[in-house]
Structure 1
Amino acid sequence: METIRALAHLNKYLARYKWYLIWGTVFTIISNLFGIFPAQLVRYALDLVRETLDIYYLYDGTSLQPAIYEVFAFSILLYGLLMLALALLKGFFLFLVRQTLIVMSRLIEFDLKNDIYDHYQTLPLAFYRQHNTGDLMARISEDVSKVRMYVGPSIMYGLNLLVLFVLVISYMVSINARLTLYVLLPLPILSIGIYLVENIVIARSEEIQRALSRMSTYVQEAFSGIRVLKAFVQEGNSVQRFEREADEYQNKSLRLTLVDALWQPMTVLLIGLSNVLVVYVGGQEVLAGRLTSGNITEFILYVNMLTWPVMALGWTTSQTQRAAASQQRINEFMSIKTSLVSTKNITRDIAGRLTFEHVRFVYPDTGIVALNNFSMDVQAGESVAILGTTGSGKSTLANLMMRMYDASSGEIRIDNVPIRDYDLSHLRGQMGYVPQDVFLFSDTISNNVRFGKPEMPQERVLRAVDDADLTDNIAAFPEGFDTRIGERGITLSGGQKQRLSIARAIARDPKILILDDCLSAVDTNTENIILNNLRRIMVDRTTVIISHRVSSAKLADKIIVLDDGEIKEQGTHEQLMARGGIYRELYDKQLQTEEA
């Protein structure tokens, strides 16, 4: 029942490609018919040989004997040609079976991967905080591949077994019901074996997938952090840990292989027992005059015809159980729905007024209170600086403005409209965001700048790069804007990556610009150049500058000092300096540091 429930999710895909399934079934029936007819021709040929030999020797020494031989030889040749033609037709329809059922499995695999990836895109940031990248990748790659083995080869072999079983048993019963009954006696034993092994296979398949996810996660982290790994000379330890993860995966795989290995010898034994019963019981029927020797040969061919499908039954069952375990893992994530749902799907252009009213936010996965009773009101076109130390809740504010999370309590409004009422994609499309942890894509510099608007003209790209003070750096590269920057921008320095991230944000000409500590990796001279450019960029757009540097905060019309998620001070630079509180203390300390 668990298997059926898990795989029921695939029914919509099977319905989508029902004609592939229907035609595949038709071609399977036709190919098996062409596979059964040769067994009947063998029976006719053997009976013909037996009867013709008696007649041939009866006319020994007469002039009719050569004529009888010619008729006999022609008949045998005709039977041989007919069997060859039937074999060719069976092969042709087997080709059509694979061109329908296996093609269907590839189409379903394609759709399933796209659906999973699309669903991943809808899930909130909280989901990605709770699940590691390796596990996400394993479910969209390894798990989907195992599901494809069910909707492709497993269904194909299952259909083939079902069709062949019905056709062969029907023919066998029509010839001799008693002999058919004896031949089928070993099959209930096989059914019991399938039932007993089913739970073992699915449990061990789930263990394998969990071990694979852990191994994939470790490898992904090791390659992403290769600089740190090498800097601390931990290559040996990394290899040892990978070997432990690989050994665990290997051991779990071998345990499943042990179960799989039982099927073939068990099936061969049962098929061999069926052949013995055919010869023994069939011999009795021949002696009783109810069957011919040709019938015995026909029955042996039928039994051996069932050999591969019955042997494939164990493999098919194993693959189905693995697919069920994988589909169950896929269903776990597919059943997760995002809480970031728009109530009214408003898609109008925004002016940029940003209002927080008594906002409190608690991270759902850790229970940490990041913001408490936070309120601010920024008019359209104004700028505000959020200043604070690490862990004060600055980046959480950026996430709430982008609606990566919803506030636990209180309300956030844009242009006096609750942020929950806006269409999420349309709202984010009017914002520019420079994250503290810069992420660049393994593409050209030009494509990274126009990431938010792929159709952006090159002139706009050039202007954004110039505003971010990156023009001279790009000019020094041999390929200029077509320079590929490697994974996560590995070929660029920290400052270059941050400036490229700034260029990407301002290139889309956003109504609200959020700068999350974006100048932390640049030197003082570059910072001054970018700040001067930002003065021009910030005109007529709402700008939120999140920083721990007072030099960046001075640009803003108003400054808010955060500490432990609460507002401690707010006002202009001059007002806060005159107050002589936390802001003045931070300013003096940073001024002394810069002078030193």
Structure 2
Amino acid sequence: MRLFAQLSWYFTREWRRYLGAVLLLILIAILQLVPPKVVGIVVDGITQQHYSTAWLMKWVGLLVAIAVVVYLLRYVWRVLLFGASYQLAVELREDFYRQLSRQHPEFYLRHRTGDLMARATNDVDRVVFAAGEGVLTLVDSLVMGCVVLVVMSTQISWQLTLLALLPMPIMAIIIKRYGDQLHNRFKLAQAAFSSLNDRTQESLTSIRMIKAFGLEDRQSALFAADAQDTGAKNMRVARVDARFDPTIYIAIGMANLLAIGGGSWMVVNDTLTLGELTSFTMYLGLMIWPMLALAWMFNIVERGSAAYTRIRDMLAEAPVVSDGSEPVPEGRGTLSVAINNFVYPQAARPTLSAVHFTLQPGQMLGLCGPTGAGKTTVLSLIQRHFDVGDGAICFSDIPLPRLQLNAWRGRLAVVNQTPFLFSDTVANNIALGRPGASQAEIEQVAKLASVHEDILRLPQGYDTEVGERGVMLSGGQKQRLSIARALLLEAEILILDDALSAVDGRTEHQILHNLRQWGEGRTIIISAHRLSALTEASEILVLQHGQIAQRGDHDSLAAQPGWYRDMYRYQQLEAALDDEPETDDDDDKEAHHA
């Protein structure tokens, strides 16, 4: 029953719908009391007074009219009640999605995708079912049960009513106990379903790797284990669920036995007529639904309560990064970074220490260094995925935490290490940030990203469906589509996080040349392992162990001893060796022609 208190905010807001549905349910309950009374009158009239056929047809017509009215009223209350509950589903899912979109990487370190999907679908469905069917059964059972009891007690015999209700208190105690068991077991079952969802999602998204490593049997065994665990927990729920109906039917059977036994004795002793006993038995039959509805209500409300607890726990998590209140200053601005120390949540050691630099509008910053040196962390802090604990990042001398988060990110265009494409057309993937962009604008940024010719070779050109996660495209094509998507935003600051790693050297050179023309007056930050991508940078930072080991432009760093010079020479040698077979082939061809 705690779910109704938890959802009181929604019931209060939608009180007109719920009140209308409740009033109609009460009216229907009252109308349903008429037929048993009419049947009792007809039975006594036929057995005692021998009324005419016309008199009988009048009562039959009344029964038919009541049936039609009840049918129409049931239609109306369903529209009111279930319409309100479906609206609750929409709002819960909107709140849930908004909560997920506000969260930052730290949140997704703790929550897996399959679990989040289960809460947004299965758990919401349970809450909505309880807000619809639960309210229905609660009102219907209470109204019908109370009205029937009043009529049985006042119109027929309160002594017989009391006798028939003797099994009910015992039944109520048992059902309450079942409800508590159901709440706990269903919560465990939902958690198991989330784990199964996680396993399914991970298996489907990594199916290529699973096949490449020949892990089909192992993954199938893991999935079977999760499915078996989920099935076992749901079976425990079903065992409790299965106890409700037998308990109700036993109680109702005992009530009928006591009613018929006691009623027969009262008929024999002339304290009750046969018609009244017939009406009483029919009224007692009307009590079957309230009792079943009460048990069913406990069932679905406890399930809904367990599900709502899981949803509410997720909605209650505040974002690690809070929104600021100040608007981002108009025009181009200076980006200054002063990171004294930054430690990831639950990490033991700082990831970054003493990282300081300033970027003027129109400058290009290069970030390089060994794997794990902290390049991506610097870019994450600029995007405010996390806040700097010791230090500050400022734009136009305003610390980022004071700026409105959405407005600040609107100034950024980001291409991450692993590009993500939606299962849509090439054109729609490029125009993700600007859905209203024209075809000419889309093609223009595709040319800047050196992917226009590749797109034209696709079966339907820009209208080609790329498949889930861009499955039909190569890694280099995905990266260049993501660059085109970022360029279309025309943002003030462009961030490329190792976004050219899957592109060949010639294409990389062309893209960088295009970016220099596009980026006049714009700030560009490039993180790369291939140092040829940084040759045109205004300043290059070499990060090692989370600190700046070297800094300067390409020429100065290539001339001084250190990681940058060693890596640049190694990459030049590697590129020369890659080109050598082609050179040999060309020499052979020239000699042959000579």
Shorter-chain TM-score range: over 0.9
Q: Secondary structure at the match of 2:357?
A: strand
1:343, distance to aligned residue in structure 2 (A): 3.5
Aligned counterpart in structure 1 of residue 222 of structure 2, from 241, 248, 252: 241
Q: Which shows bigger deviation, 509-518 or 98-107?
A: 98-107
Matching residue of 1:315: 296
Pair 1:377 & 2:358 matched: yes
Q: What letter corresponds to residue 320 of structure 1 in structure 2?
A: V
The whole-number CA distance in structure 1 between the counterparts of 2:4 and 2:197 is: 25
Q: Which moved more, 1:277-286 or 1:210-219?
A: 277-286
**Amino acid of the residue matched to residue 257 of structure 1?**
A
Distance (whole Å) between structure 2 residues aligned to residue 134 and residue 367 of structure 1: 29
SS across alignment from 1:369? coil
Residues 350, 415 of structure 1: 8 Å contact kept: no
CA distance in 2 between counterparts of 1:253 and 1:452 reads 43
Deviation at 1:368, TM superposition (A): 5.0
Deviations 1:131-176 (A, max 9, x none): 1100110000000011111001111111100110121111011021
Mean CA deviation greater in 577-586 or 345-354: 345-354
CA distance in 1, matches of 2:552, 2:561: 12
Where does residue 51 of structure 1 map in the other structure?
48
The residue that corresponds to 1:144 in the other structure is 124
Q: 1:326 to 1:81 in 2, by over 3 A?
A: same
The verdict on how the C-alpha distance between 1:359 and 1:7 changes in structure 2, with shifts beyond 3 A counting, is farther
Give 1:493 shift: 0.5
Q: Please give the per-residue CA displacement for 1:103-158, whole angstroms capped at 9, x wherever unaligned.
A: 21111111111111112111222111221100110000000011111001111111
Q: 1:557-577: CA deviations, max 9, x gaps?
A: 111000111110101112212
- Which of 404, 411, 414 matches 1:430? 411
Which residue is 1:24 aligned to?
A: 21
Residues 477-522 of structure 1: per-residue CA shift (max 9 Å, x gap): 2211111111111111000000001111111111111110011111
Structure 1 distance, partners of 2:268, 2:478, is 90
Deviates further, 526-535 or 341-350: 341-350
For 1:98, the equivalent position in structure 2 comes to 78
1:115 equivalenced with 2:112 (yes/no):
no
* Residue of structure 2 in register with 1:13 after alignment: 10
Aligned to 1:557: 538
SS at match of 1:262: helix
Code of the aligned partner of 1:293: L
Q: Which amino acid aligns with 2:30?
A: L
The AA in structure 2 aligned to 1:154 is G
What is the aligned length?
A: 576
Q: Which amino acid aligns with 1:480?
A: G
Measure, in 1, the Cα distance between the counterparts of 2:523 and 2:320: 27
For the aligned residues, what is the CA RMSD? 1.5
Which moved further from structure 2: 236-245 or 107-116?
236-245
State the partner residue of 2:519.
Answer: 538
Closer/same/farther in 2, CA of residues 378 and 593 from structure 1, 3 Å limit: same
1:205 and 1:327 map into 2 onto residues whose CA distance is 12
Indicate if the aligned counterparts of 1:436 and 1:517 stay in contact, CA closer than 8 A.
yes
Unaligned stretches of 5+ residues in structure 2: 578-594
Q: Which residue of 2 aligns with 1:578?
A: 559
- Maintained 8 Å contact 2:123/2:304: yes
Local SS of the residue matching 2:7: helix
Range with greater deviation from structure 2 (349-358 or 292-301): 349-358
Which deviations, in whole Å up to 9, do the C-alpha atoms of 1:1-24 show, x marking residues without a partner?
A: xx62x5544222222322110111
> How many angstroms does 1:465 deviate by?
0.4
- Judging changes above 3 Å, is the alpha-carbon distance between structure 1 residues 392 and 593 closer, same or farther for their aligned structure 2 residues? same
Q: Which amino acid aligns with 2:8?
A: N
TM-score (normalised: structure 2): 0.94
SS of the residue aligned with 1:233?
coil
Q: Secondary structure at the match of 1:593?
A: helix
Distance 2:475 2:333 in 1: 31
Structure-2 separation of matches of 1:352 and 1:595: 41
Q: Output the CA distance in 1 between the equivalents of 2:396 and 2:295.
A: 64
* Alpha-carbon shift at residue 550 of structure 1 (Å): 1.1
Which residue of structure 1 aligns with residue 456 of structure 2? 475
8 Å CA contact retained: 1:498, 1:521: yes
TM-score (normalised: structure 1): 0.94
Match of 2:589 in 1: none
Q: What corresponds to 2:445 in structure 1?
A: 464
2: CA distance, partners of 1:241 / 1:8: 40
1:367, CA displacement in angstroms? 4.2
1:130 aligns with 2:110: yes
Q: 2:239 aligns with which of 258, 265, 270?
A: 258
In the alignment, structure 1 residue 491 sits paired with structure 2 residue 488: no
Could you tell me how far apart the structure 1 residues matched to 2:508 and 2:86 are?
52
- Structure 1's 514 and 211: CA in aligned 2 closer, same or farther, altered over 3 A? same
Which one of the candidate residues 387, 392, 414 is aligned to 1:411? Answer: 392
1:75 to 43, 55, 75: 55
Taking every aligned residue pair, what percent have the same amino acid on both sides? 32
CA–CA separation in structure 1 for the residues paired with 2:441 and 2:337 = 33
Distance 2:4 2:352 in 1: 43
The 2-side partners of 1:429 and 1:349 are apart by 12
Task: Give the SS at the match of 2:466.
Answer: coil
Superposed counterparts of 1:281-430, under 5 Å: 281-430=262-411
Distance 1:295 1:187, change over 3 A: same
